[in-house]
Amino acid sequence: MKKFLQGTMFYIALIFVIMSLVFIQSNSTSKVEKIPFSEFYTSILEHKVSEVEIQDNGMIQGNMAGSDKVFTTYAGYLAKTDGLTKEILEQTQQGVLKSKVKEPTQTHWILDLLPMVMLILIIVAFWFIFVQQAQGGGSKVMGFGKSRAKLHKEDENIKITFNDVAGLQEEKEELKEIVDFLRSPQKYWNLGARIPKGILMVGPPGTGKTYLSKAVAGEAGVPFYSISGSDFVEMFVGVGASRVRDLFEQAKKTAPCIIFIDEIDAVGRKRGAGLGGGHDEREQTLNQLLVEMDGFRVNESIIVMAATNRPDILDPALLRPGRFDRQVMVGSPDVKGREEILKVHSRKKPLAEDVDLKVIARGTAGFTAADIENLMNEAALLTARNNGTKIKMQTIEEAIVKTIVGLAKKSRIITEDEKKLTAYHEAGHAILATVQKFCDPVHQVTIIPRGMAGGFTMSRPQEDRYYTTKQELKEKMVELLGGRVAEELILEDVSTGASNDLERVAKIARAMVTTYAMTDKLGAMAYGDSSDEVFLGKDFTTKPNYSEEVASQIDHEIKIIVDEAYATARKLLQENIDRLHNVAQALMVYETLDSEQFKKAFNGELDLNEDVEESISEGADTFFDGEKSDDAKVSDENSDISETPINGETGVVVDVTTSVDASEQK
């Protein structure tokens, strides 16, 4: 009943009732016929009227003689003329006509005000409906400035603890210290220690920042308020700042407690970055948050936790000591962390005997916690689709490929020319990845379309790497250009399939020149701003930190690096032209080559006349066991390069042949 009263139907029903009350007097149950005054007067003279009632407003209502006909007519001032009045009086005296004069009715003042009241109620009802839509519904129609933080209680049915969080040992230790302070603060006060007022969890999307905060809520044993950064921002001016004040007022009443703000970059962006540096609603909210965290007010035993994947756009005042004292980096897990995460997400999943989580962990370098959870879920869905009862290793392999590239489109009709082009393109990638020293080993090559890719070559690093050398970047560009060069050498033409490869090559070359200073001509100097600032106002006020002459030199150096990589790719493929033909022909026959099949095709040992299905089934489970060929194996070497890889992370590398529709070509 309460939800009904709060809904739109209540207001519609209310308006209907009011309108019925207002117009109920106009509704008559009898049938009344309107006649002209002339007809009425003639009927009077002919004694055809049996009863008549003269109203004060000039309306005349009566009954015809000898029938049940009820009529009405408007006489106006004529109703008071001597002739009509005399005739009616005479017939009344004779007993032919019954007549009466209705006294003027006096309407109560409430009824006079009823139309105005109805109009006001309609306006109020529509205003309530509008406010509910603006607020996203709910029962707090008038509570604009009230906080929307959710209070997590200890007796919740679903409780996440630190035992449910895997692969984040150091991060958990940092947060355990906070939880311990809230449980026994006297231990820290005796030592004169000041607990951090705020903890900012920073990391890429999907690494477990929000999940870790849920574990803190489960471990704290104190009130835990959680709210999203976007919940502060509203269409009404001053609502965000009011909600911040209300949130901290609630927290003070239940201190010690924890306040968690997810995606704080929604309200914590740098001030003055918009056009004109305007003082908008978001900045008011941020200012109030700064005051509440460290201002004249004392917020003892209130710890603010926040999560974001964009720390570069946060306001410096928010990151200073006294507000967010600590920044906990939550990055992608290493091989041990991935194994622990796999154990967590496979607890309730029936795994086959051939599933080895350690092997899967080594084969999923660069995967975040969210990626691993999605991987195991996809494996379970694929098993259910095939009516299986246990998740097999081969199914997990397919799930990995599906997660990275997309769903296989085996039903797509491909011409022989396109099939040949894709085969030589991917063979070019695979050959150059194998013959070079620092490239990752090839684990799968296919010409079956997946997602937006017409084919792909998958390489997996044998171990986690956090640095990339100059030579590794050069070899990576050579590998990426292998498909384009193979098309040029064999088909004597080039296609749009190398569009993704060319974009990645340009990105690597530009980063080598401008970010990593891997060129002798420009020296050990970084050019450009790597903050990736998205504010339009900042773009108007900032200038590049290099001149147009240096920009021309940068473009020249990038071209030199790309041309050198292209020449190297062409030279290596010409030296291994027989291997290129062998791998391409194998792809034409088998369509998909795993690591073992690729090795045989690379060395010219793969029988292209044997049954395709049998060969594929024999090597279907070798995704996680592939190694480089003996003549291409190298020992791992440590480097002193202090910069991170070009993409900021390590993981499974996929070189794809992009399928471009004619409408998308430029």
Could you list the active site residues?
426
d(CA 20, CA 26): 10
Closest CA to 269 of 232, 242, 237, 321: 232
Cis amide linkage into residue 223, ω under 30° from 0: no
d(CA 563, CA 558): 9
Q: Is 447 exposed, middle or buried (0-12, 13-18, 19+ CB in 10 A)?
A: buried
Tokens standing for residue 391: 């998740």
DSSP string, 600-639: HHHTT---TTS-HHHHHHHTTT-GGG----GGG-------
Q: Look at strands 49-54 and 653-658 and give their pairing.
A: unpaired
d(CA 337, CA 361): 8
d(CA 576, CA 572): 6
What sign results for the dihedral spanned by CA atoms 510, 511, 517, 519? negative
Q: Is 96 exposed, middle or buried (0-12, 13-18, 19+ CB in 10 A)?
A: middle
Q: Look at strands 150-152 and 198-202 and give their pairing.
A: unpaired
Name residues whose C-beta falls within 8 Å of residue 554's C-beta, 6 or more positions apart in sequence: 510, 513, 514, 522, 527, 546
d(CA 340, CA 330): 16
Write down how long the chain is: 666
Q: Nearest-5° angle of CA 422, CA 424, CA 430? A: 105
Q: Nearest-5° angle of CA 510, CA 514, CA 516? A: 100
In the beta sheet, which residues pair with residue 306? 200, 261
Rounded to a whole number, what is the largest CA-CA distance in the chain?
A: 135
d(CA 15, CA 25): 17
CA atoms within 13 A on the CB side of 107: 8
d(CA 372, CA 206): 10
CB 454 within 8 A of CB 497: yes
Q: How remote is the C-alpha of 143 from its chain's centroid?
A: 27
Tokens standing for residue 297: 């007010």
In the beta sheet, which residues pair with residue 654? 458
d(CA 72, CA 43): 13
Q: Which residue has the tokens 């062998």?
A: 582
Amino acid identity, position 322: G
d(CA 601, CA 444): 12
CB 651 within 8 A of CB 367: yes
